[in-house]
Amino acid sequence: MSAPAVDITSFEKATWNGFVRLFQFTQGENLNFSRIPMTSPVLILTRFVPRSGPVESQGYHVSLYLPKKFQANPPVPLPELNIKPYVFDSHCVAVRKFSEVATDERIVEEVDKILSKSQWKSKIEHDGYSIAQYYTPYSIEHEVWLDIPARELGSDVTAAACSRADAGNRY
């Protein structure tokens, strides 16, 4: 499921805003009154728009995977939650892991690092990024994901390896 926070240019505020609505949905605020197990990662997607925010974003979409049990027929969210199903397309990403707190400033630094040091630098699509957040009982881990078009990788074998097992799954 995906919760748009498109009018919010702060990563921290958008994450909180979207996550609270998704959490309410998982706790039964849906037309079926279904409780849905939390999944990982929490994925925050955005698109770049020059000079529109600290990471030049136009806003965010905060998403959670739905467990397989709910993917074919997801519970309908309450309208006031403003969330909807989202099917995740298969794609390749350049990934940078970090464990520091994911503040607006830290996100800017991590996106800059992956853009400046990636071996895929010339192939990365610069129109957006995603932050994957993995919560465990003892820590929070983060990843910056930047899309790499599979056609740019040069071989069918490598491109096929980029297809994620969860592609086509619903968020």
pLDDT tens digits, 55-92: 555 678 999 999 999 988 999 999 999 999 988 777 77
CATH of domain 2-162: 3.20.80.10
The model scores a pTM over 0.85? no
Distance CA 43, CA 33 (A): 24
Give the three-class secondary structure for 116.
helix
Own/partner long-range contacts of 37-42 (Cβ < 8 Å, ≥24 apart): 37/67, 38/64, 39/64, 39/65, 39/66, 39/67, 40/65, 40/134, 40/135, 41/65, 41/132, 41/133, 41/134, 41/143, 42/15, 42/132, 42/133, 42/135
Q: List the structure tokens of 126.
A: 């610069």
pLDDT in tens, 99-132: 888 888 898 888 888 777 766 666 666 667 888 9
**Could you identify the residue written with the tokens 């009018």?**
7
Q: Please count the CA atoms within 13 angstroms of the CA of 54 that sit on its side-chain side.
A: 17
Of 112, 134, 110, 114, residue with least CA distance to 123: 114
